[in-house]
Amino acid sequence: MRRETATVFASSLKLDVSLECISLGDYEWEDQVVTPCESEYPSPLETKFNLSPPLNILKDSNDDLTSPLYEAEADDSQCRNQQVVRRDSYARVLTSARAPELAMIAPCPLGSPTLEFCIPAFSEFSNRPNRRALVDHFCNVLSHLIVFREESGNPFQQLVLPLSHNSSPVMNAIYALASAHLEYRGVENPEKSLYFHNQAIQGLSRVIENQVKVNKNELLAAIMLLVYYEVLVQRGRTNIINGHLKGAFAIMCLNQDILTPVGLFLERAFGFYDVITALSLGTPPLSTAPSAGGLLPVPPLDAPPASPLTNVDTLLGMATTLWPIMHRLSNLLFTKKELEEAQRMRQVSKMAVLRTEFETTSQAIEAALAQWKPCLPPNIAIQDDVLVLKGAGGEEIPEMARLQSILHNALAYRHSAFVYLYRTIYGYSPKHELVQQHSHAALHHCVETTAARGPMSALLWPLFAAACEAIAPEDRELAKKAFSEIEQRQGMTNIQEAWGIIQEVWRRLDSLDDNFSMGKNSDLWRSVCAEMGVTIVFG
């Protein structure tokens, strides 16, 4: 596949950045613009969208697919922004592609169709049926797969989608993300996801080079969607996601409007991927660690204060109070590498400082993980990892199954954090009792997350970290079951790639003798990834 280089945050962007911030001109996003060619996904099926009102993703005779990608189709953007915030999706995707569950995810509560219904559906975004179908897929399917909480509306629809009316990069990034998700499932679109991705990247570059006043939230939203796109597509070895995150944190450092609902949501999204990327790639996180108790759950817009989902974050679930620990954990491997380098160079004083920092931090993280408990909603308690209502007369609530999935997701993170600490940081053998204990517990919680049929977003890292160390046949069956469930529900390339790596890791684990010593191959999966030529961010 031919690739060209595109510099998104060009050096022409003259911004004074404090020493605490990352300069936007310090890096380039390379190998981002690619020429659309033969798809890297499975062969597409001849599938049509049957929507109500009818949409057809196949080429329309009136479509000019060579025309400029983004068309400004409304001058009254403020009025239409309000319409998009108020209304949810009305059309439903019914495809003959795999995983019919993708069409069975219930949308959020709807407003009055007589007041807000637009015909044809999503006509305010484009006059092209295939692009309206992509917006429909983003709203009706994709946006529901990547959040934990949406009782008053989906934050991607409420906060991100309205930004697309004034920002072609945001609109194109939405098209790219939705199209890539459909391509993986075998649904054909006349305009490929790579095409939309290129246009989003080039649009960001043009916006910045124009030297006009920029809406930073629009830039951040476009970058965030591109991060999701890169995680979803996963093309071989790449550092593109790191480049996106650097640009985002540079913008947030300059953004004075971060405390708006949009800003808070985007900040939380980048904070999540900063930690996950560090854990996945072995690089230090770009942001500073939040203080203990410094993160509060970010609810959807207009969420009721007495909701049963209180204390559930839209992107972190019940792991909000765990995230400061995860952030510090994600930095430990970098500290360990620095210590090993100082030992190799025989830098005695540096060795002493780094050893003290490494031992103190790792022990504090281990203690914090042992003491951590999820922050539950009011009137709900845990008994043997099962949520129950407090009080003798408590009746069942409709959200209980969803809460059960969210709880198990957070507990899976806790146990996989132990696995990462003991294997990657301490270098214990995969057969060590503590490694096996926490690997089994994490896999159990991953399966329980899927069994409750609630949200499965952000489950790949704890599932992967635990599955890498699964030795017992019953644990491997748990891993296989969990991978099958989340691949069917989420439908993303990185899940399939991760499962392939797990199988190769198991093959190599089985070949190790009983004298496999501590410290050797503490990250066997990283060796497998290097040999396979892939880089996966387990988001």
- pLDDT: is 79 or 435 the higher one? 435
User: Per-residue DSSP letters for 165-210?
Assistant: GT-HHHHHHHHHHHHHHHHHTTB--SS-HHHHHHHHHHHHHHHHHT
Please tell me whether residue 447 adopts helix, strand or coil conformation. Answer: helix
- In terms of average pLDDT, the best of 2-6, 209-213, 367-371, 382-386 is 367-371
* Range with the poorest average pLDDT among 238-242, 269-273, 394-398, 501-505: 394-398
The pLDDT of residue 75? 37
**Has residue 13 got a pLDDT over 90?**
no
pLDDT in tens, 14-34: 333 332 333 444 434 444 444
Give the whole-angstrom CA distance, residue 158 versus residue 145.
15
**Has residue 532 got a pLDDT over 80?**
yes
Banded model confidence at residue 215, pLDDT cuts 50, 70, 90: confident
Which tokens sit at 112? Answer: 């009055």
Rounded (10°) angle between helices 524-532 and 493-510: 120
**Has residue 105 got a pLDDT over 80?**
no
**Mean pLDDT, range 93-113, rounded to an integer:** 36
Cβ–Cβ under 8 Å, residues 132 and 122: yes
Q: Where are the domains of the chain?
A: 3-281, 323-532
Give the whole-angstrom CA distance, residue 475 versus residue 409.
17
The pLDDT of residue 87? 36
* Range with the poorest average pLDDT among 40-44, 200-204, 393-397, 421-425: 40-44
Give the whole-angstrom CA distance, residue 170 versus residue 160.
8
Number of CB atoms found within 10 A of residue 463's CB = 31
Banded model confidence at residue 423, pLDDT cuts 50, 70, 90: very high
Backbone phi, psi, residue 387, to 5°: -80, 135
pLDDT in tens, 339-398: 999 999 999 999 999 999 999 999 999 999 999 999 888 888 888 888 888 765 557 788
The pLDDT of residue 291? 83
106-120 burial, b at 16+ Cβ within 10 Å, e below that, comes to ebbeeeeeeeeebee
Q: How far is CA 94 from CA 48, 100, 190, 262, in A?
A: 9, 8, 18, 31
* Range with the poorest average pLDDT among 117-126, 127-136, 342-351, 486-495: 117-126
* Range with the poorest average pLDDT among 280-294, 336-350, 392-406, 475-489: 392-406
The pLDDT of residue 119? 61
Residue matched to tokens 């025309």: 67
Give the whole-angstrom CA distance, residue 286 versus residue 248.
10
**Has residue 61 got a pLDDT over 50?**
no
**pLDDT over 90, % of the chain:** 57
pLDDT in tens, 229-266: 998 887 666 678 989 999 999 988 876 555 789 999 99
Backbone phi, psi, residue 317, to 5°: 65, -130
Banded model confidence at residue 282, pLDDT cuts 50, 70, 90: very high
**Mean pLDDT, range 64-93, rounded to an integer:** 35
Banded model confidence at residue 51, pLDDT cuts 50, 70, 90: very low
- pLDDT: is 430 or 86 the higher one? 430
Beta strand segments in 334-385, E: 380-383
The pLDDT of residue 351? 95
The pLDDT of residue 236? 64
Which tokens sit at 392? Answer: 């003798």
